[in-house]
Amino acid sequence: MKAAALALLLALASAAALAGAPKPALKIENPGQCIAPTEEMRKNHMEMLKHQRDRTLRQGIRGEKASLNGCIECHASKATGSVLGKGGFCQECHAYAAVKLDCWDCHQPKAGFKHAGAVGVKP
């Protein structure tokens, strides 16, 4: 099922590439520092993150190798501070592959984010 979906995705992606869609221009901010080789990350990052998220949230396991915040801290653009936006590490590739992400509905996409404004829910 997943393999089929992946195959379809790859087929679509290569079709898009053939059709001339511009390849994502990814800037790696800290080359060589990743938790696994690039090829493995490209292929498996979603599985790594999914398993980690369930272990961390449901079992309370902390300090895992793969972590979304870890990705963000390392991969956020030095210019924008985020993994989203144009050229953003996550968005650039996901937009190209047409895979929707809902991580960012809840997770903070900016590295080292601290809220500066007024605090508290105001009636």
Choose one: 7-15, 17-25, 38-46, 115-123; the region binding other proteins (CB under 8 A): 115-123
Q: Does 37 bind other proteins (CB under 8 A)?
A: no
List 22, 33, 37, 39, residue binding other proteins (CB under 8 A): 33
Q: Does 23 bind other proteins (CB under 8 A)?
A: no
Choose one: 5-13, 36-44, 90-98, 113-121; the region binding other proteins (CB under 8 A): 113-121
DSSP string, the chain: -HHHHHHHHHHHHHHHHHTTPPPP----SSTT-SSS-HHHHHHHHHHHHHHHHHIIIII---S-S--HHHHHHHHS-TTTSBSSSTT-HHHHHHHHHT----HHHHS--BTT----S--S---
Q: Does 121 bind other proteins (CB under 8 A)?
A: yes
Q: Does 40 bind other proteins (CB under 8 A)?
A: no
Q: Does 80 bind other proteins (CB under 8 A)?
A: no
